[in-house]
Amino acid sequence: MKTRKQQTPARKRARPGPAKPRAKASVKARAARSRVAAAAEYGALTLGVECTAAEADALKAELARRVAASEPIIVDVSALRRIDTAGLQLLAAFVRDRRTGGRIVQWRGQAAALELAAGLLGLKDMLELAGEVGR
Amino acid sequence: MTVDLTQFHDAFFEESFEALDAMEAALLKLDVGSPEPELINTIFRVAHSIKGGSATFGFSEIASFTHSLETLLDELRSGTMPVTVALSDLLLKSVDVMRAMLRAVQAKQPIDSQRVSDLQFDLEVAIAHKSEAEPAAATPAGAAWIVAAESAAGGAAPAAQQAPRWRIRFHPYRELLARGNDPLRMLRELAALGELAVRVDAQMLPALAEVNPQDCYLAWSLELPGEVPEDAIRQVFEWAEGDCDLSIERLPGEQALPAGAQDAPTPVQATPAPVSAAPPASAQHGAHPPPAPAPASPAPAKPEAPVSALGDSGSIRVSVEKIDELMNTVGELVITQAMLSQLGSHFDGPDAEKLRAGLGQLERNMRELQESVMRVRMLPITFVFSRFPRMVRDLAQRLGKQIELKLTGEQTELDKTVLEKIGDPLVHLVRNSIDHGIESPEARIAAGKPAEGTVHLDACHRGGNIAVEVSDDGGGLDRDRILAKARARGLVGPNDTLTDPEIHELIFVPGFSTAEKTTDLSGRGVGMDVVRRNVKELGGKIELKSEPGRGSRFIITLPLTLAIVDGQSVAVGTETYIVPLISIVESMQLKATGITRLSGHSEVLSFRGDYLPIIRLHELFGVEPRSRALHEGLVVVAEGDGRRVGLFVDDLLGQQQVVIKSLEANYGHIEGVSGATILGDGSVALILDVPGLIRAASMRTAA
């Protein structure tokens, strides 16, 4: 408890009044970016900050649009910070379906969240993540 | 099919407050900069279980707040966010707020929403800040787990294969995700317990176009090192219960350990009995592999881990053997005390009165001690009932019926041994009710009943017994069909007329079934006789009441415990016998006119318009009676297997609870005797088994 009492005022000093509006704005910015953003080029898909159950419907729509495309699809994961089972499951189905059809998926950028989550769920092989991320 | 959750509120609050204390302690120990992964896991687990609990109980404000907190903690745990002074302060504030919210909900007071939403905002800000400011901070090196994802070629490391391991098969149902459970989070928690090997089964994952994003199609086969406590594993899946198929089995080591090391569990390991009123999580899983020798703490063996110190302070786990031993000793004490009381009653002299007062006190204390020990073994029947909602839902779906399951009296307590054995008979009865009892929705509507049928499970205490009732509002027993079937099978003569109880009795005949076609549920005629046998083995009885078109009721009456029986002691000559009170209908003195002698040696007595055979206990047991004249002794009307008989005895001595000593274990089985006990004077009295007596007597008559 001693530590705590000492820390409380320190925190108050660190975050004076005006900090709040700025913080609020950043929450909004995050919310906007967390949507699955459809990139300009059709063959590329940039994943948002979050690919979780909340965004799964949108993600599925984006993936479904590209699943049968004949050109290679590049999935950019560099913005991705959070992904859950719902998101990974969609990506896994997408990659598997493309592979079955002899079509290519490439990963662009690095996302520790994706690496860790895919490893935990045992989906690394299925997502063909092993050598692909960072390319 | 709704379970009244309010009954678990107290347990939830109690556990949550304890958990928050643990969380606070962990937070205070958390080192800024280089946090101990164990501590972060402890903190995360607290937030996670409070979130799950409050969501289950509908405390949405707490659930929402803890969700934000959990998200933040998840960042900490995955190492994507460093622990700063400000952050640990924020987390401590969260503890205060959660505590305040829980207190408010507990006291049914409004929650201070302003304070909550302010802090929740701060949490969100912290999460957002980190997502922006430190994208590259993902340092798996600082993370709390190691994952050995099983590659197609490699498999787990050979060293790991030698040691005993847990194999966990985790098959989520589709709706798992929609219920707010994320397998990723569970697997992460498992990985925090020890080196986790993961193999995913994605066979059920349909083509992308067919995937419902909110459904879970994946299943996992996991392996953890054997030293992880089983409880810790189960705790991870606690909130997914009912939303997944889960099996946890222990794989023996291949060579590393000498065989004896695993085969000799210490008493503490052997099937620990959850003594507290903990949530029924662990008891529901069928097979219990021998748990690892570790404290029941969710944290992996870390002596200073705060959860083991604080989280379990409300209850302890004790092996059943220890309690049985205690029970046995108390039983011996009861006998000694009865002996002393008997001795004391013969004393005269100046101090005799004091002695008797002391003995009286001893007797009261003895009884209290005995009851306390018994209570330790008692568990609420909800441990058995809780399996039914799921079962009823599945069966109803398969049979295309609409069924509501009502559960009442789940808190009724009974002895653990009885509890373990009552499950199967109840499953039989509930299945029967659903399969045979409840009609199809169309038939129900045609009969003017609501389309949805009701199956009701109820438990209550009646005297020293527990009555468990399975009732339904279905069609009831079909008298004519049962009779026709019985005639066809030659069980009943073509012109015999049967009373309702006699017809009901027919369904307990082995191999009897009226089902037109055998389903995989019931109808093979192996059900009811097994149910009755199981119930009888527990010293109980089963009754059936049925009204055509209105439904049927099965009432199982069981002793609360198998260790003690409420008995009536009766004298036959110089011997004393104990008749279980549950079997006794009435005791009476006979007039010479009330007896009718039939051909041969058999005698019957007229009892409320019925004629009951008289069993002379002295003849059956070869004892010299005080008197052979029926009107000079007494008759105890007893019931067993739906039949009543008059037991002829010399005298009634008194009612007492007696400690059952197994005759079979110490001597051998005798028809008509269920056990023995030691009386206060040190003599042995046999405890009578009325159904067995009836069988023994009818065999004698037949011979």
Tens digits of per-residue pLDDT, B613-645?
A: 899 999 888 899 888 888 888 999 998 777 889
Query: Strands, DSSP E only, in B125-201?
Result: 165-172, 197-201
The partner residue sitting opposite A86, judged by closest CB among B151, B213, B220, is: B213
Q: Which helix (H) or strand (E) holds B571?
A: strand B564-572
Q: Evaluate whether residue A94 is within a structural domain.
A: yes
Which CATH superfamily groups domain B5-140? Answer: HPT domain (1.20.120.160)
CB B633 within 8 A of CB B649: yes
- In the prediction, which pLDDT does B576 show? 93
DSSP label of B310: I
Per-window interface: B 168-207 vs A, CB < 8 A: 177, 182-185, 187-188, 191, 196, 198-200, 202, 205-207
Q: Which helix (H) or strand (E) holds B161?
A: helix B158-162
Find all residues with CB under 8 Å of B509, minimum gap 6, and list them: B491, B529
**Cα–Cα distance measured from residue B2 to residue B37, given in angstroms and rounded to the nearest whole number:** 39
Residues of chain B with pLDDT under 70: 1-3, 130-162, 253-314, 390, 463-464, 513-527, 600-601, 701-703
Where do the domains of chain B lie?
5-140, 145-253, 320-377, 380-559, 564-702
**Cα–Cα distance measured from residue B576 to residue B488, given in angstroms and rounded to the nearest whole number:** 47
Q: Evaluate whether residue A7 is within a structural domain.
A: no
pLDDT at A32 over 60: no
Find the closest chain A residue to B75 by CA distance. Answer: A82
Tens digits of per-residue pLDDT, A67-118?
A: 888 888 889 888 888 888 999 999 999 999 988 888 888 888 888 888 888 9
3-class SS of residue B649: strand
Per-window interface: A 90-109 vs B, CB < 8 A: 90, 92-94, 96-97
pLDDT at A133 over 50: no
Q: Under an 8 A CB cutoff, do A96 and B90 touch?
A: no
Q: Pairing state of beta strands B551-559 and B465-472?
A: antiparallel
CB B143 within 8 A of CB B77: yes
* Residue whose tokens read 């909340």: A54
Which of B89, B190, B210 should we substitute to test contact with A (largest number of A Cβ atoms within 10 Å)? B89
**pTM of the predicted model as reported, rounded to 2 decimal places:** 0.41
Compute the radius of gyration of chain B from its Cα atoms. Answer: 31
Q: Which helix (H) or strand (E) holds B244?
A: strand B244-251
Q: Which helix (H) or strand (E) holds B181?
A: none
Q: Pairing state of beta strands B465-472 and B453-462?
A: antiparallel
CB B404 within 8 A of CB B452: yes
Find the closest chain B residue to A14 by CA distance. Answer: B86
DSSP label of B137: G
| Residues of chain A with C-beta less than 8 angstroms from the C-beta of B152 | 125
- In the prediction, which pLDDT does B291 show? 40
Give me the architecture of the B564-702 domain, per CATH. Beta Barrel (2.40)
Q: Euclidean distance between the first and final Cα of chain B, in Å?
A: 53
Q: What is the CATH number of the domain that holds A45?
A: 3.30.750.24
Find all residues with CB under 8 Å of B214, minimum gap 6, and list them: A53, A56, A57, A86, B177, B178
Which of B21, B184, B196, B204 should we substitute to test contact with A (largest number of A Cβ atoms within 10 Å)? B184
| Residues of chain B with C-beta less than 8 angstroms from the C-beta of A82 | 131
CB B451 within 8 A of CB B443: no
ipTM over 0.85: no
CATH code of the domain made up of B145-253:
3.30.70
Tens digits of per-residue pLDDT, B590-606?
A: 887 777 887 766 788 88
Rounded (10°) CA dihedral B291, B297, B303, B309: -140
Minimal C-alpha gap between A23 and chain B (Å): 6
Minimal C-alpha gap between A94 and chain B (Å): 6
What are the helix (H) ranges across B543-666? 617-621, 663-666
Asked if A60 reaches chain B (Cβ–Cβ under 8 Å), the answer is yes
**Cα–Cα distance measured from residue B449 to residue A114, given in angstroms and rounded to the nearest whole number:** 55
| Residues of chain A with C-beta less than 8 angstroms from the C-beta of B187 | 120-121
CB B269 within 8 A of CB B262: no
- In the prediction, which pLDDT does B341 show? 83
CB B392 within 8 A of CB B1: yes
Fold held by B380-559: Heat Shock Protein 90 (3.30.565)
- In the prediction, which pLDDT does B464 show? 65
Q: How many CB pairs under 8 A join A and B?
A: 139
Q: Under an 8 A CB cutoff, do B132 and A96 touch?
A: no
* Cα torsion angle, A60, A66, A72, A77, sign: negative
